[in-house]
């Protein structure tokens, strides 16, 4: 079981979420969540994005790297961890580093595309971000 799986289980426990509830809330199949939790599969970009969009209080640094607190804002946590900092090993696993790199790249692209420009240019709107993997698979994200 990966460190990511352990942290996801800890988050689900803190929010009293079942696999069924989490999968419905972030728009992934129950089997996908189950496979991530038992270490069979690595989390996809869609999984990470769905989780952090639905639960903005979860710290991505904690989720991906085990650094810092589980929650970005202690006031967001309603589960009894209010004054507790949850920490894990500072060294991220290769899986977590890979996912973190993918998330950071997507966040940079989206941030750049949504920042207002000081120069007058024709208005451009981001339509789609596509990640292409070495095995030929790909994922597509729409900002809307």
* pLDDT, position 125: 75
For residues 106 and 141, the answer to whether their CB atoms sit within 8 Å is yes
Q: Is the pTM of this model over 0.85?
A: no
Out of 3.90.550.10, 3.40.50.880, 1.10.260.40, 1.50.10.10, the CATH code matching 3-141 is: 1.10.260.40
**3-class SS at 82?**
coil
Q: Which residue has the tokens 């090993």?
A: 89
66: left (phi over 0), alpha (psi -120 to 50) or beta: left
For the chain, 144 residues long, give each residue's pLDDT as a single digit of tens.
568 899 999 999 999 999 999 999 998 899 999 999 998 999 988 888 889 999 999 988 888 888 888 988 644 444 433 333 333 333 334 455 556 666 677 676 666 666 665 656 667 777 777 777 777 777 777 776
* pLDDT, position 134: 79
- The distance from CA 45 to its chain's CA centroid, rounded to whole angstroms, is 7
* pLDDT, position 24: 92
């Amino acid at each position: 079981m990966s460190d990511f799986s352990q942290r996801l289980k800890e988050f689900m426990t803190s929010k009293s979420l079942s696999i069924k509830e989490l999968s419905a809330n972030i728009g992934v199949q129950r089997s996908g969540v189950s496979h991530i939790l038992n270490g069979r599969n690595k989390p996809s970009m869609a999984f990470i994005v769905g989780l952090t969009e639905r639960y903005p209080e979860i710290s991505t640094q904690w989720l991906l790297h085990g650094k810092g607190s589980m929650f970005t804002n202690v006031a967001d946590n309603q589960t009894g961890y209010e004054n507790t900092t949850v920490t894990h090993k500072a060294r991220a696993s290769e899986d977590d580093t890979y996912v973190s790199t993918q998330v950071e790249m997507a966040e940079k692209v989206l941030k750049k595309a949504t920042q207002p420009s000081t120069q007058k240019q024709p208005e451009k709107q981001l339509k789609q971000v596509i990640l292409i993997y070495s095995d030929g698979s790909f994922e597509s994200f729409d900002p809307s």
